[in-house]
Amino acid sequence: MIRSLTIGLPLATKSPSHIRERVRGFLEIAIATLEAADLAPRTVRFALPAVGQEGEIEGAILSRVRFVDELSADTGVRWMCLPIDLVADGLNTVRMAAAIDVIGRFPRLFLNLIVAEDGKIAVNSVNQVADLILKISRRSNNGFDNFRVGASCNCPPNSPFFPFSQHKGDNLAFSFALETTNLAVEATKSVQGNVALAREHLIEALVPTLRKVQSLAEELASKTDVEFRGMDASLAPFPGDGTSVGALVEQLLGASVGSHGSVFITAMLTDALRCALKESGAKPVGFNGVMYSMLEDKHLASANSKRNVTLDGLVSLAAVCGCGIDMVPVSGICFQEEIAAVILDIAAMSSTLKKPLGVRMLPIPNRGVNEFTQLNLDFLCDSRVVPLTANDRKIVLSEHLFEMRAPLK
């Protein structure tokens, strides 16, 4: 039920020895408490503070990541996330060079490349990110490394879903990413197309679970004096039939995910989730929506292979879904400008609608459009390579940021 326990590390304000001691003490109590409640997390993760202009100092990023990597190995933590703030002032030269360096050095590291924040979009940095994604894709034969790289747009601090996480604050903090898709699939099996009834069944199924997790979080915060920042109860997929968002949508829609009506079903599910959070009194953080993560979802991957899902359709769904464009395979010979254009579309949608979104695309080396990926990993699915709209024109700014002056309220 708990997908991840994400711990935010206050690297800028606390000494390494203080952080090490506090993390060990917290983990000992947290794991024991969650296991006793039959809610042991699937993974434990560390989120780092965002690196901005200080990242232009040679060695600043590397030393920070090396410490957290050693701490992860010492405490058995599987993943860590380094946010790099590209909205912050500066040339980004060292930051981007450091990004490709650390992703190769540290296999447990995720990169959160922040390209939009507070309605401001770093357009020129988006071009740099697209170039970085292509360079990273060439480090392996299957393009897997970009699984650990995302471009985030207006994502709040301490969101627990990687790679769109960052820590803010002077003290240690924690948050939960939940697995709620299986509950939703079971709760809506018998509604036979009645979406209002599906929403009520889903709310009824979610509320007790959310209250239980909130109670445990408050207990942990009290025992450890570590701040609880909230939970992301997004309907997120995991390979398998019972945890497929695509299967859930198909069950309610009566047609393949990606068909017309998918936006409506997605909006209904998001509304049910947020109603449940409000009714339960649980503290939300992050996306709290419906996550279409193509290579992590058996039914969505299958719908893409049958050409029932398009990239344009996924962009449309981003208006009402939880995470944007996630885990989408594209050709390794695509243009940098094509990747940048998708990120800019999502950044514009995020900034206009005032909602967190992200982009995680995997250019697949030696694969053309409609050819299949060959990732051969038990936690990912394979699917067809998705076409991008031909675009060889780079959108640039003379200044650093483009700001949405009149976003929707």
Q: Which residues of the chain fall below pLDDT 70?
A: 55, 58, 241, 408-409
Rounded Cα distance between 205 and 189, Å, is 12
Domain that holds residue 197: 178-327+376-403
| CATH code: domain of residue 266 | 3.20.70.20
Pick the closest to residue 269 from 309, 310, 234 (CA basis): 234
**Residues near 239 by beta carbon (within 8 Å), at least 6 away in sequence:** 296, 297, 298, 378, 379, 380, 381
* Token output for 141: 């034969």
Tens-place pLDDT, residues 191-231:
877 999 999 999 999 999 999 999 999 999 999 999 999 99
Q: Strand, helix or coil at 400?
A: coil
> Would 381 be classed as within a structural domain?
yes
- Dist. CA 109–CA 152, nearest whole Å: 16
pLDDT tens, position by position, 355-404: 999 999 999 998 889 899 988 777 788 899 999 987 778 888 888 888 88
pLDDT of res. 143: 85
| Helix, strand, coil shares, percent, the chain, to 5 | 45, 20, 40
The answer to whether residues 181 and 237 touch, using CB atoms and an 8 Å cutoff, is: yes
Q: Is residue 72 part of a domain?
A: no
311 within some domain:
yes
Q: Is residue 353 part of a domain?
A: no
Residue 31 lies in a domain: no
Asked if the structure places residue 254 within a domain, the reply is: yes
pLDDT of residue 53: 75
Any domain includes 13: no
What residues does 82 pair with on adjacent strands?
A: 111
- pLDDT at position 54 is 75
What the block records as the tokens of 84 is 């790099």
Q: How many domains does the chain have?
A: 1
Q: Is residue 130 part of a domain?
A: no
Sort residue 274 into left (φ over 0), alpha (ψ -120 to 50) or beta: alpha
Task: Give the integer Cα–Cα distance in Å for 383 and 197.
Answer: 33
